[in-house]
Structure 1
Amino acid sequence: MGNSIYQINKGINQSIEFKGLKAQYIWYLGAGVVGLLIVFAVMYLIGLPPILCVAIITVSGTFLVIKIYGLSNKYGEHGLMKVLAQRALPSAIKVYSRKVFMKNKTQC
């Protein structure tokens, strides 16, 4: 009686994960791979030897994957966005006039 013909999707509201990469890091890796393909095409078209093109892209791709996995492991799903948002906040707000704190009777 406990067997149901319907499967329950238990991954609802979970962030996507692919081979250890979480959330936006999958997109970062995809954009990096597309960028490397473009760089490879440009290098090949300007006449560099194909073996040199492959070597440069292999080294760059390895560095890209290591960096992206490192960011994913260090910051987690939302940590990188929080760090970038924290950097955008000013450390202090400087006001050189008291007018901001004075109550203006005409605006009340």
Structure 2
Amino acid sequence: MAEYPINKGVGRQVEFKGLRAQYLFLFAGGLLAVFILVVVLYMGGVDQVACLVAGVGLGGALVALTFRLNRKYGAYGLMKLLAARRHPRRIVSRKSVARILNQH
């Protein structure tokens, strides 16, 4: 009978080179967007050196921003920050107290 090792990574968050959770997908999508932008600029007739400078500059800024957000907010902190903006500051009930107490 064959023995299979237990997968110790089940339920853990995705991590690559220190980037965790949503930052990894943000990083990959950003690099894809930078690549497409460089290709569009090159196909549009912009100078090759300018395209490379733009690609390296935007790519470097994306790397710095993504790692800074990862370090500052942690694995799920950015999602919590975005969710907190959607919640109301207070809940207002316009019903009278007597009407609220009489409901069963």
Relative to the length of structure 1, the TM-score reads 0.80
Deviations 1:51-86 (A, max 9, x none): 110001101100001100111111111111001111
Rounded to whole Å, the distance in 2 between the matches of 1:68 and 1:12 is: 25
TM-score normalised by structure 2 residue count: 0.83
Structure ranking higher in helix proportion: 2
CA RMSD of aligned residues (A): 2.2
Say which one has the larger Rg: 1
| Aligned-partner SS, 1:78 | helix
Counterpart AA for 1:91: R
- Structure 2: which amino acid aligns with 1:101? S
Moved more, 44-53 or 86-95: 86-95
Gaps in structure 1 of 5+ consecutive residues: none
Shift of 1:94: 5.7
Greater than 4 Å deviation, 4+ residue runs: none
Q: What is the aligned counterpart of 1:22 among 2, 20, 23? A: 20
* Separation of aligned partners in 2, 1:101 and 1:65: 54
Q: 1:8 aligns with which of 6, 9, 21?
A: 6
Unmatched runs of 5 consecutive residues or more in structure 2: none
| Paired position in structure 2 for 1:54 | 52
**What is the percentage of aligned positions where both structures have the same residue?**
37
